[in-house]
Structure 1
Amino acid sequence: MTALCLYRDSVRSDWVDYNGHMRDAYYLLAFSLASDALIERIGLDEAERQRSQRSVYTLEVHLNYLRELKLGEPLRVEAQLLGHDSKRLHVYFSLYRGDDAEPAAVSEQMLMHIDTGIARCAPFSPAVLAQVQQLAVSSAGPWPAYAGRVIALPGTRQGGAA
């Protein structure tokens, strides 16, 4: 598997809370900015989004906070494409502190290709789908430890109201 680094930054002062840690919302912001870079990587840059009236929207996000980040620490976000079809991307993002090997946070996301002219899902163009397929091959690897997790208290019913 080839790591696909999509975003680099450092923890900014306005991202830090009263405990001196990066606020939870800014982890999601870093993943969102990496998602923007992914969308450009598959051929949906701003010019193409305007021309085709196509974009990618986020349908679902799971975020696991694993280690704290503090003011000024460098961060990077890498991505692995876990799956795709003609309209969706199942992506796993890992956020690392600097060059650390273990992630500080991970986010599993389902993204949908949208025809923005009618606000409905639409198949990827052949050119974009070719980029998605290439990304799937280059990022193939073991299933990540935090992918596919469900939020529930032990002994509670999953999937509906009690």
Structure 2
Amino acid sequence: MPRYAQLPAYHDVVRAEWVDYNGHLRDAFYMLIFSFATDALIDEIGLDDSVRKARGRSIYTLEAHINYLHEIKQGAKVRVEMRVLAHDAKRIHLYLEMFADDGDQPVAASEQMLLHVDMSGPRSAAFDSDVQARVRALVDRQATLPVAQYAGRMVALPAQAGK
């Protein structure tokens, strides 16, 4: 169960083929799990496979950032909790945290920018009103959550005093 009832969650297990030579989940597979979680969110906001096909719409990932916080090993049960940090007519700024087993501290976090796309172009397109309403409702349910701990980070070396 998610730490916060307002958060959608995705569940999986670290598979043998996802583990590297150190016995840990390989870095690329963190993104795979986050991608599967994003698919679950897309279904939740009303863009499941049948709707995507019927409307000729989809979601593209424009940008993704991962923070690797703790190693996890084969067989670990993972849970990914998701929240929408911001959205507009065409985009969703999504934040995800991955937890191992029954842990309450994230093992990884990801931030992603998603774009709604009309596949006939393909080109960006405003969300249909029913999907936009579901996104808005999700954001409303999450309004009182604490700040997303790993959001807004960037890759950089720390500034060194007295360079």
Same-fold call, TM > 0.5? Answer: yes
Equivalent of 1:146 in 140, 146, 150: 150
Indicate the residue corresponding to 1:32 in structure 2: 35
1:33-58 per-position Cα deviation (integer Å, ceiling 9, x unaligned): 00000000000011100111111100
One-letter identity of the residue aligned with 1:44: L
Counterpart check, 1:66 vs 2:62: no
Cα RMSD of the aligned pairs, angstroms, is: 1.4
Show structure 2 runs of 5+ residues with no match. Answer: none
Structure 1 position 122 matched with structure 2 position 125: yes
Deviation at 1:5, TM superposition (A): 3.7
Identity of aligned residues (%): 50
Where do 1:43-82 residues align within 5 Å?
43-82=46-85
Q: Give the Cα separation in 1 of the matches to 2:96 and 2:13.
A: 17
Give the match for residue 111 of structure 1: 114
Distance 1:132 1:94 in 2: 19
Q: What's the TM-score, normalizing by structure 1?
A: 0.92
| Deviation string, structure 1 residues 43-78 (Cα, Å, up to 9, x no partner) | 001110011111110000010000111011111111
CA contact (8 A) 2:13 2:78 kept: yes
Distance 2:135 2:7 in 1: 13
- TM value normalised by structure 2: 0.91
Report the alpha carbon displacement of residue 3 of structure 1 after superposing the two structures with TM: 4.3
Count of equivalent residues = 156
